[in-house]
Amino acid sequence: MANPSHLRSRRSAAQLHALEGVEREIRANDHNGRRKYLKDFSAAYRTYQAVIDSERVQNAVRESDLVLIGDYHALPACQQFTGSLLEQEAIAGERPVVLGLETIFARDQHILDEWWRRDIDENELRERMRFQLDWGYDWEPFYRLLITAREHCEALYGLDCMPREDLRKIGARDRHAAEKLAEIRQRHPGAAIFVLFGDSHLAPAHMPREVRALLPEARTLTLLQNVDALYWRAAGERHDRVEAVQVEDNVICVFNATPLEKYENYRLCLDRWRREESDKPDLGPTVYNLIDGLVRFLGINRYSPHNTTQPKFLVDLLPEVYYRSSDGLLRRLLSRKGVSEEEREAMLQRVEDRGCAYLPQVNAFYMHDFQMLHASEEATRFLHHACRGLPARVTAREEAADEPSGVLYPARPALREADLRDLMEQTREDIERQTGLTFAESMRALDFLLLHRLLEIDARQCEQVRGSLDEGIRSSGAKFEYITQQLGYLLGCDLYDAYLEGRVTPGFVRGLFLTHVDEPGTAREAYFTLVSRLRTVRRKGHFAGKSVGK
């Protein structure tokens, strides 16, 4: 009888020859294989304790509170196996079942929930999740898993966060997923929680360690699929077919595909990605990069699990991004959120005027074209809303102050009182064009702005100009929007100047973003406290109308 090494050699020879060409092509197009994170996984699982059958696997699953399932994303058998586990556990009926997925960003949970409630269809789910752009693997096996989960599970959750493409940040993604699982455990204390995540995340020192730290009492099973070293070793067993092996006490590996099948599927994915050409630009990374630059400047921890001096899980609050071709989809989304036709048209007009707009009602960016000035402003608006807590509660007379988007776009023109005075000296046509108001409304708005800036540092004169002040405060519509926007620009310039001069720090600016201004009077108090901090020192220069730094 052949010994194990001879059996292994004979069973493996043909596959190994076929694999040589596939692996060579994969290495030429995917250079991540030598990364330490991936090598940690390969080194961790090279031997096993015993061969086991599928019944033993099912028993181990039913004895566990949390099952971490390794996914080889390009292999449909991995998603199909996970779906069969969900179905078996649900049919057993001993406890509810919950599924968490790496495939879906936690920031897109609201989209997943809409699909779960059948408010949106498959096509809208796929488009809004940016599945092809952000994930790129086959949709069909993944969607079949979602359908299985909706039919058999109590709940379905997205677990992942950005950045997927940067392996230097992959440990942060593990910690984030573990935090999400701890939240899910609190929401579903009696449920069996299944988690499908990329197999490299399941090395002992990766996600399993983070999960144990947060859920030490949970009975956790790591369920691997088709690990190469274990497959080749099992090829030497005197079994017609090895279904699974017990790797460690709480680690099992099942075999539902061969290594050749795995890598051929991945090669096909690489080939498809090379051939695909999109007829529209992907502006999502541009938006996220602007936000990330501002976040880094302010020293914000995107993965913070607590609301203190940091927004909670900012990485999960990142907005959806729509392009020009998504007009119909965005209109339907706004309508479902209760945004009136008049408000929708105003939002779309903002996009036409500026090239882009952040829509806090639905936490989404909408872009027609990329203009750095306006994109940086809208990215700053998003961060302000996110730090105050989403979903946003937006009112028609929301008090606005432009935060320092100049750190993203230093070339942005400054706005000073002198510029307002210069505008008042221009022709009627130029004034109306620049303000978007009638000539009479423009002059009243400019008078109010200059008066407001004067009274900010000399409130003793309020009673002398009470009539003019009250008229400006009672403004509405386009005039109100113009006034609040210009006051925001003016204060933003003051803040940016103070930062450049070293009078305020990024930490101070971060505190402004985190200030909650929803309660009546809070925004006013925050505004004038900031004015006192920024303008007292510079009072003489501003009274003289100097255009410092312009």
Summarised one tens digit per residue, pLDDT across range 271-325 is 777 776 555 667 788 888 888 888 888 888 988 888 777 888 899 999 988 877 6
Question: What's the number of CA atoms in the CB half-sphere (13 Å) around residue 410?
Answer: 5
Pair (176, 74) in one structural domain? yes
CA pair distance 251, 49, nearest whole angstrom: 10
Residue 96 lies in a domain: yes
Examine the domain organization and report whether 209 and 354 are in the same domain: no
pTM to 2 decimal places: 0.77
Residues 379 and 425 in one domain: no
Asked if 457 and 535 touch (Cβ cutoff 8 Å), the reply is: yes
Q: Do 537 and 514 lie in a common domain?
A: yes
**Do both 454 and 372 map to the same domain?**
no
The residue type of 458 is: D
* Per-position b or e across 59-79, b if 16+ CB within 10 A of its CB: ebbeebbbbbbbbbbbbbbbb
Q: How far is CA 55 from CA 51, 61, 99, 237, 248, in A?
A: 12, 10, 22, 19, 17
- Domain end, chosen from 394, 427, 447, is at 394
Q: Please, which residues have CB within 8 angstroms of residue 541's CB and are 6 or more apart in sequence?
A: 548
Residue 57: per-residue pLDDT? 96
Last residue of a domain, one of 275, 309, 335: 275
* Count of alpha carbons within 13 angstroms of residue 151, beta-carbon side: 13
Q: Within this chain, do residues 257 and 339 fall inside the same structural domain, yes or no? A: no
Number of helices (H), then strands (E), belonging to the chain: the values are: 23, 11
Residue 228 and residue 366 share a domain: no
Banded model confidence at residue 546, pLDDT cuts 50, 70, 90? very low
CATH no. for residue 182?
Answer: 3.40.50.11550
271 in the same domain as 288: no
* Domain annotation covers residue 527: yes
Establish if 113 belongs to a structural domain.
yes
**Domain presence at residue 68:** yes
Q: How many domains does the chain have?
A: 3
Q: Is the domain of 330 the same as that of 309?
A: yes
Classify residue 402: in a domain, yes or no.
no
Tokens 């050409």 identify what position? Answer: 277
Answer yes or no: are the C-beta atoms of 36 and 44 closer than 8 Å: no
Q: Quote the domain boundaries for residue 327.
A: 284-394
pLDDT tier at 542, thresholds 50, 70, 90: very low
Query: Is pLDDT above 90 for 61?
Result: yes
540-543 long-range contacts, Cβ below 8 Å, gap at least 24? Answer: 542/416, 542/417, 542/453, 542/457
Residues 315 and 264 in one domain: no
Residue 161 placed within a domain = yes
CA atoms of 66 and 62, how far apart (whole Å): 10
> 433 lies in a domain?
yes
Same-domain status, 221 and 183: yes
Q: Are residues 156 and 203 in the same domain?
A: yes
DSSP states along 303-368: T--SSSSS-TTGGG-PPEEE-GGGHHHHHHHHHHTT--HHHHHHHHHHHHHHSEEEETTTTEEEES
Q: If we measure between CA atoms, which residue out of 313, 348, 356 comes closest to residue 329?
A: 348
Q: Which of the pair, 361 or 106, is modelled with greater confidence?
A: 106
Choosing from 363, 379, 394, the residue where a domain stops is 394
Which CA distances in Å does 452 have to 190, 233, 436, 550?
59, 78, 20, 21
Distances (CA, A) of 342 to 346, 398, 481: 6, 17, 16
544 has pLDDT over 80: no
Instruction: Quick: pLDDT tens for 186-241.
Output: 999 999 999 999 999 999 999 999 999 999 999 999 999 999 999 988 887 877 78
By the 8 A CB rule, do 523 and 517 touch?
Answer: yes
The tokens describing 183, both together, are 């939240």
Burial class of residue 374, CB neighbours in 10 A (0-12, 13-18, 19+): buried
Quick check: is 550 in a domain? no
